Structure 1
C-alpha cells in the first residue's frame, strides 16, 4: 500500500461500504454445496463430510460485487458466527482509489486457458490472464486473442481501482500470470456516490 490511511479509514464504517458508490446498503449471497452425515438414531444431518461455500458481497444500490470484502466464519460459545471483514491488501486501494482503464496484453501458456471459444471464453481468458483478479476484482473486457505457438496473447481493456497511476500499473503487473504489456493507462471519473448522511466522511 502507498502511504498511510487517513484517520477515518481506521473504522469499520470506512471499509464496510461499496467501493464504487460508497453505499453501506450491502448484502451477502452465500452459495453452499455440502455432504452431511446423517445420525441413524436422531436423524440429524449436522456433521459435514465435505462442504464448499462461496460468499459474494454485493451493493444493493449499484449492484456491483465487493471484492474488497470477505465473509469470515468463527466459533463463538459453541455456535457458528459469520462476519464481514476487509481484505487487507485491497480495501483501502479500492475504497479510496479512483478508476483506471488500461489497454493491455498478457501472454500466457495455452495450457493455462480452459476454453478460448464459446460462452465461457471471456471468463476463461480473463482468469488465464489475471487469475481471480481478472474475474472478481477487475472489470475485464477481452477484445480478442491470438495463438502464437504454445502461447496465447490476450488483448484486453481492464478497469481497476487504485490511488495513483503507478499503483494501478503495479497491481496489474502483480496480478498478471504472464508477460504484461501496457499500451495505455488512463484515469477515469469516479461513479456518482450514493446518498450519504452529513456525518459520512465521504
Structure 2
C-alpha cells in the first residue's frame, strides 16, 4: 500500500518501497567570462539520471528526472507499478554485426542489448540461456522477466522491444514480490 501523501508511482515497481535514491550525472562545457571567471554560456550540456531503490537495489525505469524533479514516465509507470511480473522464454534473431561480443563475461549483456536494446538493460530482467549462429545472424535464446497488466500487453511490450524477429515459446504470469514493510525490511 502506498504511504499517505505519497504519489502512487513514487515507489519501487519491484518491491514497492518508497525508499528511492536519485543518481544524477552531469557533464557540461561552458564559456567563461574573462573578467569575472564565471560560466556565462553553455556550449554543451548532458545530464543523465538513474533512480534506484535502496531496499532491493533495482533501477526504476518508470521514473525520470526532468526540470529538477522526479516524474512518472507515462509510457511505463502504469505497466511497471500496477502490473505483475511475467516470465517469457523466447528467441530473438539479430544481425551478427549487432552483437558486440558473444563469448566471455560480457556476452550475456551484449546479446541481451543486441536483442532488446535499451529496454533490455533498463526495464527487463533478461538472462541469455544460449545463442546460436546461423550465417550472418545470431539467435539469442532468452528468459525475460517483465512487468505488464495482461498477457497481451506482455507480448506486445516484448514485440516492441525486440530488435529482430521474436518467437515467444512460453509466457507465464508470476506473483509480485512482497511489498516492503514500513520498517524498511521485506514483509
- Scaled by the length of structure 1, the TM-score of the pair is 0.82
For the structure 1 residues 46 and 65, does the alpha-carbon distance in structure 2 shift closer, same or farther, using more than 3 Å as the test? farther
Distance 1:48 1:118 in 2: 41
Distance 1:12 1:54 in 2: 25
| 2:53 paired residue number | 59
Tell me the SS of whatever aligns to 1:14. Answer: coil
Instruction: Say whether residues 1:14 and 2:15 are aligned partners.
Output: no
What do the CA deviations read for 1:66-90 (whole angstroms, capped 9, x no partner)?
Answer: 00110012xxxxxxxx011111111
Larger deviation: 164-173 or 115-124? 115-124
Q: How many residue pairs were aligned?
A: 180
Structure 1 position 166, deviation (Å): 1.5
CA positional deviation for 1:169: 1.0
Structure-2 residue corresponding to 1:162? 148
Distance 1:119 1:33 in 2: 30
Distance 1:50 1:152 in 2: 38
Cα distance in 2 for partners of 1:177, 1:115 equals 17
SS of aligned partner of 1:95: helix
Q: TM-score, normalised by structure 2?
A: 0.88
Counterpart of 1:4? none
1:151 matched to 2:137? The reply is yes
User: CA offset at residue 94 of structure 1?
Assistant: 0.8
Alignment match of 1:33 (pick from 16, 22, 27): 27
Question: In the aligned structure 1, how far is the partner of 2:41 from the partner of 2:104?
Answer: 40
Gaps of 5+ in 2: none
Indicate the SS of the match to 2:8.
helix
- Two-structure CA RMSD over aligned residues (Å): 1.9
SS at the partner of 1:15?
coil
CA change 1:92–1:12 in 2 (3 A) is: farther
Instruction: Give 3-state SS (helix, strand or coil) of 2:153's partner.
Output: helix
The alpha-carbon distance between structure 1 residues 46 and 62, as it changes in their structure 2 partners (threshold 3 A), is farther
Distance, in Å, in 2 between the alignment partners of 1:171 and 1:189 is 19
Structure 1 runs of 4+ aligned residues shifted over 4 Å read: none
The residue matched to 1:129 in structure 2 has which SS? helix
Query: What is residue 77 of structure 2 aligned with on the other side?
Result: 91
